[in-house]
Each structure stands twice: as C-alpha cells, then as structure tokens.
Amino acid sequence: MKRRILLADDSPHAQRMGERILREEGYEVVSVTDGETALLRAQDFDPDLIIADISLPGISGYDLCKEIKAKKDSVFTKVILTAGLLEHFDAERAVQAGYDGSLRKPFEASAMLELVNSLVEAGVVARQMFSEEEAARVVRVETADPAPPRLFIPLPLRTERRGQFTPEPQPPAPAEPERAPVVAASGAIDPGLVRAAVTMAVEAAIPNLIDEITARVLETLEKE
C-alpha cells in the first residue's frame, strides 16, 4: 500500500518540485494551496505525513500543525514545516505546535527523502504499537514558561535483563532547518539551486508588488 503525503504550499514551483521528488519515491501525493483546504483534505485523505509551508494563506503552517496534532484521529500523522531560503523560521512556535521536522526550500531531494522516509516509518511503527486511544493519552508537562505546555506520547517500557523497567529515551527536539545549499561540495555554485531560490523569492514577492503598483496607479489617477 502506498503511503500518503499531503503537500500544502501556495508556490507552484515548490509544489511541482515536492510532487516530483515524492512520487518518484513511490508516495501518493495530494497538493493544496491554503491552510483551510489542507485541514479538510487531511480528514478525507488521512495522510501519513503533512508537509506544510509556514506562510500558507488563511491558516499558517504553524497553526495547521497545531490543529492536526490536537485531533484524536490524526494522532499518528507526522508534520514537516517548510520555509523559504531567506524566510525566518520560528523554532519556538514550531515546537509549541508539535512539529516533527522541518525543511528549507527549494527542496533538495536526498535531504527531503531522508527526513520524509524516517518520519513515515516512525508513524507506521506507532500505528502498529498503539491504538488511537492509547496514543491520545498524553502526558501534560507543566512548566514555569508562560507558553502552552508541550505534550508527549508515552513511550513503551523496555525490559532490562535484570527484570527492571526503564523508559525509552525521548528523541531530541527537531532542530531549526538548515539553509538549502547553493554551493556544491566541490566549491562550485550550483546554478540550479540558485535559480530555484530566486524563482521562489520572486513568486513570494509578486503579490505584494502588484498591490503596491496598483495602489500607486490609483493614487496617480485620482490626482488627475
């Protein structure tokens, strides 16, 4: 059975790149362009993994992740948050939302698949080990921090040779995504990655540029 991935990104270039990489790996991929649609498709598509841009229209990637993690029927769904090459990534907000990993765009195939494959496999193992009811019984960790407390799914106990039980170690918190490399290992600049980064930056800037030009034209016409 093909594993399912929901790709939420309003950049056509990022969608095409992500779809190609994931489908060539054998995943079934559905793409959407905004947060509200992503929430709806997550219900009927039941993805193993969601890859969401942090700057989605409507509902941001951070808030989408938080919504997904709060739903009992998507407790096993993993979420990767993505950000543009020059875009600020709020690691604290991502942790509070419960994200599982992060990537910089433009996507680099090997790095993307390494993270995607590991998270999908982790989700499959969790489904086999826990029922939804068991996984939903989370432990709320109270802290002095005013931010909402983080939620953890209890891990299975490991039996030692002496008959004692010790908890499995908690995985480290996901790190802030590294910037996608534009320089190859040989030291040469990779024109393809540079072009992809410039393309995405221009796509992101076009809506604001159009609004600004429109406002100036209207202002000029009104003066005349």
- Assign 187 a pLDDT band (cuts: 50, 70, 90): low
The CATH number of residue 23's host domain is: 3.40.50.2300
Structural domain span for residue 189: 181-224
3-state secondary structure of 217: helix
For residue 183, give the DSSP letter: B
Residues 160 and 224 in one domain: no
Residues 45 and 134 in one domain: yes
Backbone angles phi, psi at 84, to 5 degrees: -65, 165
Residues 71 and 131 in one domain: yes
Please identify, among 161, 178, 195, the residue that sits at the C-terminal boundary of a domain.
178
The rounded percent of the chain whose pLDDT value lies above 70 is 62
Residues 154 and 193 in one domain: no
> Residue 191: how many CB atoms within 10 A of its CB?
9
Residues 77 and 16 in one domain: yes
Average pLDDT rounded to a whole number, residues 200-213: 65
Q: What is the pLDDT of residues 132-181, one digit of tens each?
A: 555 554 433 332 333 333 333 333 333 333 333 334 455 555 555 544 44
H helix or E strand, kind and range, residue 202: helix 191-223
145 alpha-carbon distance from chain centroid: 25
Residues 131 and 216 in one domain: no
Residues 131 and 23 in one domain: yes
CA–CA separation, 49 vs 75, rounded Å?
Answer: 11
CA–CA separation, 95 vs 91, rounded Å?
Answer: 6
Contacts of 29 (CB under 8 A, 6+ apart): 4, 5, 6, 7, 18, 19, 22, 23
Residues 185 and 169 in one domain: no
User: Shortest CA distance to 51 belongs to which of 76, 83, 24?
Assistant: 83
* Total count of domains within the chain: 2
Residues 129 and 174 in one domain: yes
Residues 186 and 117 in one domain: no
CA–CA separation, 183 vs 173, rounded Å?
Answer: 28
Q: What is the pLDDT of residues 24-75, one digit of tens each?
A: 999 999 999 999 999 999 999 999 999 999 999 999 999 999 999 998 888 8
Compute CA distances 58 → 10, 21, 130, whole Å.
11, 26, 33
* 106 compared with 152, residue with greater pLDDT: 106
Helix axis angle for 109-129 and 12-24, nearest 10°, is 60
**Contact, 124 vs 48, CB < 8 A?**
yes
Residues 125 and 86 in one domain: yes
- Assign 199 a pLDDT band (cuts: 50, 70, 90): low
Residues 204 and 104 in one domain: no
